[in-house]
Structure 1
């Protein structure tokens, strides 16, 4: 308070305020417009330099202490600790696929190659990868007969991020800069002032002239995108400061030229302002590389030698062996539990690695022993796709026929020597797909952003997504069947439909459903701080004071979901694999 009073005195001596009246802190507090839910006292303690309250206790614990995490996660039946491990391993879509591959192999699944013939048998468990960013795993029931259906859970491995440009090396003002391009609909302003690094894949040239595909992840903070100091750009001042200036103008007669406040919030230029720096003072190798005329693009002249040195040290190879690379920029902060009761998961990439892991884990646990498939007539499958965040139109995306080609090959393998016609087409009509992607949880600060009667909450179970315009593939039949699985196993579900005056996102569900006409339900775990562009619009509505920025900016690069919802999703998916066959045959529609 003393600090504010002193500032008021300084303003009162401004040349334009010769006849100024005394301005006390109470005048400021009376005139300032304060967001609901924030007391004046709280606001001053947030921004004042003197009398600052102690920093809040950190609720986020490192997942490296596995015993502690599992204790916080709950009973031994919880998979939350394992999900945290998966998230911390899976910085990129490549790492997410590789970790799923490792776990499937450890669970007894057999690796197939799309380029070779398959030998698939009833009771067998198999999987294959494509581009090391797409994975399809399946288990064949021992009582499978030609024409039986597939019970599938589909999700995706990619998340919005920054990716290195093909020519990433540049220098500015004595800094080594790493040029990046945006991938997907991220909340890019939340990538500022984060401890960033790189992860992805590289191609190495071996001594015998062959090439090797390897994944790489630099765990230490390596890059940074700093924000501009507020003193250098007064347009970044926010609503509460604007109100303060207005008070000064009206009370002490300060010149109108002080009205330089941008009420639209922080909107960085993604080409100019979102470039991470790597280091200062380029070394001699960098200078020589930049002075040369580039005749052919190689890693040596496309990327900073210092970056290649860091990668080579991580990979245990020489810089000359790196002939190609594909790297994502990643946040180094570990995924963890948080909240007053440790009931939340704070992490990047929850959309959609949380769904991916729950699906893979449910498949593995639903057929962990030979007896689990003894009475199964259908085929249990999980399909994890890449590039969902940019439309799915890629070789490894849901827009490609990857899953359906695999289904046809499986049917052909299991139908050898049998002359039954249209086996694959009949199998499709018997099949059912669960499109699992995260859902928008109701935001406590924005109750008007959800339809009054469809407000998904955290810790309340999977959200069934509906849209009359087919942005989701759910219909009344598929919703009923999937909810019936939950009812039998005493699991909660929720319903979601977007407001009529808001746009609606979409998923891989409609893409796959329309591809061959497979029955589909769209569902997901409720979360906050989802990345999509519509959330960016909501965020700008929220940023009405500097205090709001302090409180919520970090959350959008760190998404939030409920710990209980992860376990519910896992149980629901596992129950789907184990009991859907018996439920499905009880309902006849087109007969």
Structure 2
């Protein structure tokens, strides 16, 4: 078990260290799938001529959301799908569309982060940049600057009248230090004249869209990292991230210390489970398997690439249509509605482990512990979607996988977070699960090493056994 645990934990560490933004997470997930034989397709193509049974496929949307699926050899129109849904976005600080500081901040907060944890950390920039490569061609390039660039210094306790309460203004006190002399940050680039006209080869080529809006030094850095000229940069989405790598820690190497566990841990496990189940795809598997990695869960899931988008219903609809061409035995009764009725979604998102210093925040019987297995999440107000029939199936999956289960429900006197589950459960049976972690939404979070292989094994067993297990209980 030790070698399996080490391999699984290291796989997650490699994934999270390489994925400071949703764009990087999706790119790394796609590479893992391609390495085991998945084929990339496009939502703008007709899938009928492309799909084959016994094969795996994936597509991406906006570079920040991904869907992958495997069609078993017996797949027919109207057959159900075993799905795992996660999200790849995390709470972070983002660079504003206009960041050249005169008054106010140049950062915007994304999601409900614990922003005090971003002070006094070694920070850098990552994201995507729209670059012109020819007069009529533009590409979106990923960028990850692997060295400390920024730091948000806290105020010395001697100068803070609030002392230990640590109060700050998110608009004015989250301004990072980029260099020693702030005036230099707003100075024109050496390649620019006093009016901001960018020079190239000694002649003006006009004002680019971006250079007047941002610090010249930052624009020069982006251009240098990408190997392009400043005037070739037309837009970008950049986030700050902590350059300290995720690591294994604890007295007996039983803990993981990492950023973005919520929810890259679930996303990693989903990708890994689908990849492993694909490499051992059985001829007896009766249902398709799929993962949906959404963006924007931390801000409500309402976007073209969030859980409220068309990605899920369109996936089921297109696979149902493709099944007609793939099977010679389909019947008129098989339809999208039948496929949805036969499908099942695991909404996988991290959960709150019991905090040793705040045990009163958990119900004594519903206090999951780090390293003790997958967490079943329930909520009477349907912030989580689990109910008796859906948790019954999950208990069967866990038993077959040999994975321990824990229970979590928030106390009546505490607020409950939410997941992608409620957004999707109007169309499909859904259950909410996760892993126990500490410091959710901090720049640095904590989880248990043993839980990584538990999570992967649990999801892999679900993909491989869902079709059989779904026959054991019918509740209409």
The TM tier, using the shorter chain, reads: over 0.9
Partner of 1:574: 460
Shift of 1:209: 3.0
Q: Does the 8 Å contact 1:140/1:373 carry over to 2?
A: no
Partner of 1:147: 78
Q: Does the 8 Å contact 2:348/2:434 carry over to 1?
A: yes
Q: Does the 8 Å contact 2:362/2:411 carry over to 1?
A: yes
Counterparts of 1:511 and 1:126, CA distance in 2 = 24
Question: Secondary structure at the residue paired with 2:70?
Answer: strand
Counterparts of 1:75 and 1:386, CA distance in 2 = 30
Partner of 2:475: 589
Partner of 2:184: 282
Q: Does the 8 Å contact 2:287/2:466 carry over to 1?
A: no
Distance 1:117 1:219, change over 3 A: same
How do 1:96-111 and structure 2 match up within 5 A?
96-111=25-40
Partner of 2:308: 399
Counterparts of 2:356 and 2:196, CA distance in 1 = 57
How do 1:451-462 and structure 2 match up within 5 A?
451-462=363-374
Q: Does the 8 Å contact 2:77/2:334 carry over to 1?
A: no
How do 1:125-524 and structure 2 match up within 5 A?
125-170=56-101, 179-236=106-163, 238=164, 265-279=165-179, 280=181, 281-282=183-184, 284-285=187-188, 292=195, 298-369=209-280, 372-416=281-325, 418=330, 420-421=332-333, 423-514=335-426, 516=427, 518-524=428-434
CA RMSD of aligned residues (A): 2.1
TM-score by length of 2: 0.92
Q: Does the 8 Å contact 2:84/2:346 carry over to 1?
A: yes
Distance 1:289 1:504, change over 3 A: farther
Structure 1 gaps, min length 5: 1-70, 239-264, 532-555
Question: Secondary structure at the residue paired with 1:405?
Answer: helix
1:349-393 deviation line (CA, Å, top 9, x unaligned): 000000000011000000114xx2311111100000000000000
Q: Does the 8 Å contact 1:347/1:560 carry over to 2?
A: yes
Partner of 1:46: none
How do 1:56-71 and structure 2 match up within 5 A?
none
Shift of 1:308: 1.2
Shift of 1:87: 0.5
Counterparts of 1:289 and 1:560, CA distance in 2 = 46
How do 1:34-45 and structure 2 match up within 5 A?
none
Shift of 1:291: 7.0
Counterparts of 2:6 and 2:72, CA distance in 1 = 25
Counterparts of 1:588 and 1:507, CA distance in 2 = 26
Question: Secondary structure at the residue paired with 1:383?
Answer: strand
TM-score by length of 1: 0.75
Residue 561 (str. 1) matches residue 447 (str. 2): yes
Larger Rg: 1
Question: Secondary structure at the residue paired with 1:453?
Answer: coil
Q: Does the 8 Å contact 1:120/1:410 carry over to 2?
A: no
Structure 2 gaps, min length 5: 198-205
Distance 1:171 1:363, change over 3 A: same
1:520-568 deviation line (CA, Å, top 9, x unaligned): 110001000012xxxxxxxxxxxxxxxxxxxxxxxx3210000001110
Partner of 1:62: none
Counterparts of 1:290 and 1:505, CA distance in 2 = 51
Q: Does the 8 Å contact 2:105/2:174 carry over to 1?
A: no
Counterparts of 1:184 and 1:296, CA distance in 2 = 34
1:134-158 deviation line (CA, Å, top 9, x unaligned): 0000001111122210000000000
Q: Does the 8 Å contact 1:309/1:319 carry over to 2?
A: yes
Partner of 1:526: 436
Counterparts of 1:145 and 1:289, CA distance in 2 = 62
Q: Does the 8 Å contact 2:208/2:231 carry over to 1?
A: no
Question: Secondary structure at the residue paired with 1:79?
Answer: helix
1:63-85 deviation line (CA, Å, top 9, x unaligned): xxxxxxxx9x7347731111110
Partner of 2:202: none
Q: Does the 8 Å contact 2:196/2:207 carry over to 1?
A: no
Shift of 1:184: 0.2
Distance 1:469 1:342, change over 3 A: same
